[in-house]
Structure 1
Amino acid sequence: MKQEIDALEHSMHIKDFLLAIKKKSDHITNFFLITFYIVGLLLSFFYDTWQIGVGVGGLLLIAYYSTKIILPESNLYQYVLSVVLGIFMAQFIYQMHGMFEMHFMAFIASAILITYQNWKLQIPLMLVVGIHHGLFGYYQYLGFDKVYFSQLDYMSLQAFVIHMILAGCIFSICGLWAYQFKKYSETHMELIFNKREIENQELKTANYELDRFVYSTSHDLRAPLNSMLGLIEIAKEDTTEELMLEYFKMLQGSAKKLDGFICDILDYSRNSRMEVNTELINFRELINGVTENLKFIGDNNRTVEFKIEISDDNSFYTDKNRLITILSNLISNAIRYQNSQIPNPFVCIKIETSQTETNIFIKDNGIGIDEESQSKIFGMFYRVSQESVGSGLGLYIVKEAVNKLMGNIKVQSELGTGTTFIIKIPNQQTKT
């Protein structure tokens, strides 16, 4: 499956690259087509061939651009372009009464077509040149009046054959260049893709090793830290001295802050390393467990009212552990950042589940988030102010967990009024 995805991605990169080349070629073509038309008008001014310059030149532009507009997804317009450029050459020869040098307009057209990196575009141009030279040369040989092909009385068969062989050589060389340029572009993209794949694999390996190191180190740090917290509690019971108790309280607060930071790092590491484990979610049970664990967090002794509204008529499947991480971080923030000016703090948790997704609303009447910070709060280590508690990883972990669940999260907030987080997570129910 992974190989198929990589192959598809590779194909898409090549397609995008060739599309960019085609767009640049189209810009060049627009310039030359307009230039060719203007040349026809200038020749009309000097040789009084306005009907040809305006009529034929205008029809050629209409043929090219109408094909491009009617069939925008097709490359047919490029083949029309090849024919149009050949007819422009015939138009110029006619306007200048068979001036031989105007045959070189076909070779200029052939060079323009190289930019599309398609050797087949040389074929229509060569056919137009061959038919034009053969037909007009024959009419001139028969003595038809005003059939302009050459300033000579007529072109001998030998001269015609040599001329066509030389023209064919030029078209073949231009076609070969177009083919070689395309092969070079594809090879170049192949090398870039392979190099990037190697770099991505090396980066993934390095990130995996780093995540393992971070997870192992953070996990090992918690054991002595928890021992330290236990010793602080024992030491507090062995003294009644106010100053020592104050020191122990400060030490305990710092240790808990460090423990919270380590827990955030562990959550981040687990989220980045672990695969999504889909299971049936019981929202009532899950919300009750989260709110029960968060009742007494923070330094504020005020009771926070939990308003819970769950509509779970449909079965919902997702990663339970990541969902707990999301809810725990958002609800704990709502509790910590209460608005002291409001007497009745609350956290409203609303769950709406459908067959395709679940919408989670977590609303509080806390201090709110200023508009400037709302676009930054999901950044790693971002803290709204120096008074903010925590590591600055909480909302970053929430965002990453939501991304792992292929969902999205939005925030609506107003200073002094409160904050609402809106999370949408798709239903990962396996169809049987």
Structure 2
Amino acid sequence: MMRLYFPAIAFFIACIQPNLQKDKAVILNEPTTIKTLKPVQTELGQLKWRFKTEAKLFASPTILNDCIYVGGEDKKVYSINRKTGELIWSFATGGAVNSSPAIHGNMVYATSSDGSFYALDASTGKLKWKFKTEGEKKVGLKGLWGMLSTNLYMEDPYDLYISSPVVLKKGKKATVYFGSGDGYLYALNVNSHHLKWKFKTAGVIHATPALDQNKIYVGSWDSYFYALDQESGKLIWKYKTGEDKKAHLMEGFQATAVIKDGLIFVGCRDGFFYVLDSEKGKLKWKYDAHGSWIVTTAALKDGNVYITTSDSYLFIALNANTGIEKYRIKTCGYNFSSSVIIGNHAYFGDFSGLFYNIDLLSGQVNNTFETHARKMYKREILDTNSRLNFKHTAGKKDLMLYQTTLDVMKQFYRLGSIASAPVIAADGIIYFSSADGYLYALKPGK
């Protein structure tokens, strides 16, 4: 990414003209031959049903038996019959529910931007208990990224999620963990409903924590990635990533880590993908995305790690041991939807409202599915290459103005942007949520 005097211009340039050059695969290795592939437009499958909520959906749904649960910007948690798409119940919180519900026993746990954690009966949606944090908030500051007006407080328009709860059961006891905009990572005793411990960081925690062995791992917007003891909440180690003290553009974590074979795989908004030793937090390798955020959770299979980038619109396959790039696919918009792998196929959506099925062996896009909103508005909003283009959508508006970013994002959302990771049931039905307010259920083609 170009570094100009006004950092926001660099950001807009990255959005307007995604970097098409070869990325250096790792700091210690050189990349292999790279293919840049264009996605095909073959229909992925048939729409089984779609369920309409009252506002945008960003977070991923959760399945329990024949029910699917999802939260949204309309401040509600929904329970939906996953076979028919009919509403079972809804529960209203005091703020947007941009997190994925967790299921434990017959309970649904959800976090809300009202700063509360909710425990609901999974069958009825009745509130069983709730816990109040010290407050939720979006990342922001005056003159964010160098945008104008510099005396205006600006919330980060891409801070789409709050931390989702994660439940761990040991014997008869269970603990639920989640982060918060107040900078704390919380651990609650599910049995007593009381606080077990909380750990303070210097930044917002909107990433979802990951559990492995006796540790819990999470990244904060303070630029550190933390490893804590699950029982006590005591710090074991922390790893410092990039910090952007002037613009606060290239820093912070939104991605959830993946842990396998003693290694942690996690992307960061500093433009790097990190692989760390889980015991000591030592860097094994990192991949340079050249100024593009990595906000999605990585997917691992057969010695490869698959990541996506935001501004450069890329799906990238890397060797998990070395970080050497194998291939890349250019999508049609920002990638905030984490990939889910079934067999030799990866499924995810992009910000233009397009959902992908990628063959991991060939590195080709098998087929795609468009949201209803994308079909309606793509000719009006997308550029001549059928891709998101910030400058194209902004028209003659001043790119330095914060209001311009808000206006452009509003137009992008009209496409039914897909920021949620899909959930794929045992019967093969694919579920994902969209900024058009719909929860989609797809039946894949043969």
Q: Into which bin does the TM-score normalised by the smaller protein fall?
A: under 0.3
Query: TM-score of the superposition, structure 1-length normalised?
Result: 0.18
Structure exhibiting the larger radius of gyration computed from Cα positions: 1
> Larger relative contact order (C-alpha < 8 A, sep ≥ 6)?
2
Structure (1 or 2) with the greater helix fraction:
1
Structure (1 or 2) with the greater strand fraction:
2
